[in-house]
Amino acid sequence: MRNRPKSIRPSRRESAIASKAACAGAPHRPAAGTTGGLAAFVAQAPNAMAMFDRDMRYVAASPKWLARHGLQACPAGRSHYEDLPNFPEAWKAAHRRSLAGAIEAAEEQRLVDADGRACWVRWLTRPWRDGAGEISGIVIAGEEVTDRVEAQKRASDLARRAQEAERHLTEALDAIPEGFAIYDADDRLLVVNRAMRAMYGLGDGDLTGARFEDLLRAAVARGIVGHAVTDTEAWVRERLERHRKPCGAVELRLLDGRWLLGEERRTPDGGVVAIRTDITELKTRQGELAQKNALLETTLLNIGEGIAVFDANRKLLVGNNDLVARLLDAPPELVRPGAALDDLVRLRAERGGDGEIGFPSLVDAPAGASGKGGPLTTRGRVPDGRTIETRANAMPDGGIVLVFRDVTDLADREARLAEVQREIVVRQEAERQRIARELHDSLGQYLAAITIRIGLLTRIAADEPPLLSGLADLKDLTATVAAEVTRLAWELRPIALDDIGLEAALRRLADEWERTSGLHFDLHLDLDRRLSNEVETTLYRALQEGITNVVKHAGARTVGVILKASAHDVFMVVEDDGIGFDPERVGQATAPRLGLLGIRERLAAIGGSVEIESRPGKGTTLIMRAPVDRPAAS
């Protein structure tokens, strides 16, 4: 049983009713008069009610009772327990107590019908008395309250689930780092999480129902907020107005130096949701960034080079834009933050450039594309005639840094220096050629005359063997001197270079080195034209220097030479299978510097260049380029 039946002592009124309902006949039948009136009352009762004698035999029953127990009519004289063979013993005990004079009742008790249906009932039993005041039986009144009980159960379950949901919500709100609070339409606090309490020093007490204004004034009184204002009341009024009419996020600085980002939003029912985010670290970083930006801006304004930094989307981020615009003679809108690099590239492309690498290719090339791992560089002229050097370096995030420098004076000095170097080379070659011809023509003639005289003396001294032996040795020595003079003349200025051209001279040079050094040469010479004396001489001397370096430093077995001309340039590639070296150490004493620097200077003097590719243990490759648009050799 859900509720234990309770015994109630009958009142005087109940006793009087029971007396009127006393049975005048046999104990098992109600008597006429009062008993009959009680039986009639029970039979017509609107609720479930039944009247029993002392042996629990039916005396009367209402229609609802009969329907509840599946009876067509009142089975007068039949025991109530016969209809319910499994009648609970506890209920029988309650009946016995009522027969003894007690009033028993239960608000909710589970009952199983004869057909097996379970339900909940509310019931009351009380004794009824005959005319002599003796207890003649009991009256049982009952009411099914299943719907009410189940509704209460559902309500209890909903309340339990609501409490669990509230607990989970509280735990979830306490777990987030942002401060969170909800106020109702009257500005009274409904929910507040742990972070919000900590931000405003609200403690752990129950704040439900506290007004926003009271909480705000308490925070002002503690100096947590509003400490930096002179008119506190005006500040509170403004803060209340902003709370009641939310208008976006606001930054707040607390007394302890922390920064909060406050945002408030209206709910559909007129309440307010308040969110606070601690942005102290962000503000600290913003301050540091502002200092760095100020330092960067100051630095950019005080250096003589124009700098433009573009992001991965090729948009200008930062730079000393006014200086860049002046250096490039560019419209200001092309060098403002957010300007597209492509527009600047287009401007430079339209003007052209004088460098080895055009400006569009420069900004599109990856870092290290020059083969040296450093920035790529080009030069170009702006409309007013100045020469501007541009260096491009890629950033790890895909952006690019461009540095612009006015090198007009430097370019002019380099041009004059190149012209001087070229003149020196030309004069050197002219002097070499003069000396070579002197050796070949003058000294060669003298040696030839000595050889003829030795021949005459040999015939005269035919009968003097000692003299013949001495003349033979002198003849051999003269031949050796003549060969050495020829070799020196060739090295100073190979006659074949003037007579039959660069390709034949290079083949003869390779043959000579192969004979004297043991190197094997793999030649691929494909030159379909004569070049100017200046260019042919430079390339010939470059190969001489290259082979000398291989013999002295490389320890190679094979040297490959490629010679090929395009419409505007002639290229010569010299590669060996030697020990290689680090190109970054060309300027150090331990590297084969003199020969390589000599090659670079000779080529630069005629507008050419050389690129060195080498690694320790991987051999060395020289890629030389020279222009072909010089006056052709006669």
The per-residue pLDDT for range 559-581, each reduced to its tens digit, is 999 999 888 889 999 999 888 88
Pairing of strands 103-112, 387-394: unpaired
Question: Cβ(559)–Cβ(575) under 8 Å?
Answer: yes
pLDDT: which is higher, 528 or 94: 94
Output 463 or 155, whichever has higher pLDDT: 155
Predicted local confidence at residue 114, as pLDDT: 61
The 10 Å Cβ neighbour count of residue 76 is 16
Q: What angle do CA 102, 104, 105 make, to 5 degrees?
A: 160
End-to-end alpha carbon distance in the chain: 131
The pLDDT value recorded for residue 160 is 92
Q: Which 8-state DSSP code applies to residue 255?
A: T
What are the angstrom distances between the C-alpha of 161 and each of 148, 151, 273? 20, 15, 24
360: CB partners within 8 A, 6+ apart: 345, 348, 349
Specify which of 17-26, 225-234, 622-631 reaches the highest per-range mean pLDDT.
Answer: 622-631
Predicted pLDDT at 494: 63
Average pLDDT value for residue range 297-320: 83
Question: Worst-scoring range by mean pLDDT, 433-447, 523-537, 600-614?
Answer: 433-447
Which of the 8 DSSP states describes residue 438? Answer: I
Lowest mean pLDDT among 115-124, 325-334, 460-469: 460-469
d(CA 273, CA 381): 63
> What pLDDT score was predicted for residue 572?
92
Count Cα neighbours of 487 within 13 Å in the Cβ-side half-sphere: 9
Q: How confident is the model at residue 106 (pLDDT cuts 50, 70, 90)?
A: confident
Report whether pLDDT(389) > 50.
yes
Task: Report pLDDT for 200.
Answer: 83
List, as one string, the DSSP characters of 92-110: HHHHHHHHTT-EEEEEEEE
Mean pLDDT of 111-120: 74
Q: Is the pLDDT of residue 150 over 70?
A: yes
Instruction: Give dist(CA 109, CA 80) in Å, integer.
Output: 18
Spatial separation of the C-alpha atoms in residues 78 and 330, rounded to whole Å: 118
Distance, CA of 490 to CA of 488 (rounded, Å) = 5
* Residue 465, amino acid: P
Which range is most confident: 252-256, 306-310, 431-435, 478-482? 306-310
pLDDT of residue 574: 92
**Which CA distances in Å does 541 have to 42, 203, 271, 434, 535?**
139, 90, 91, 17, 10
Is pLDDT larger for residue 589 or for residue 571? 571
The pLDDT, as a whole number, for residue 422 is 72
Ordered domains of the chain (ranges, CATH): 6-144 (3.30.450.20), 176-282 (3.30.450.20), 303-406 (3.30.450.20), 499-634 (3.30.565.10)
CA dist 247 and 244 (Å) reads 9
Mean pLDDT of 185-206: 88
Whole-number Å distance between alpha carbons of 242 and 265: 10
* Mean pLDDT of the 525-529 span: 84
443: left (phi over 0), alpha (psi -120 to 50) or beta: alpha
More confident: 273 or 226: 273
Q: Do 560 and 575 form a contact (C-beta atoms < 8 A)? A: yes
Round to whole Å and give the CA distance between 522 and 242.
87
User: How is residue 625 written in tokens?
Assistant: 């380029």
* CA 103 to centroid of chain Cα atoms: 80
Predicted confidence (pLDDT) at residue 188 exceeds the cutoff of 90: yes
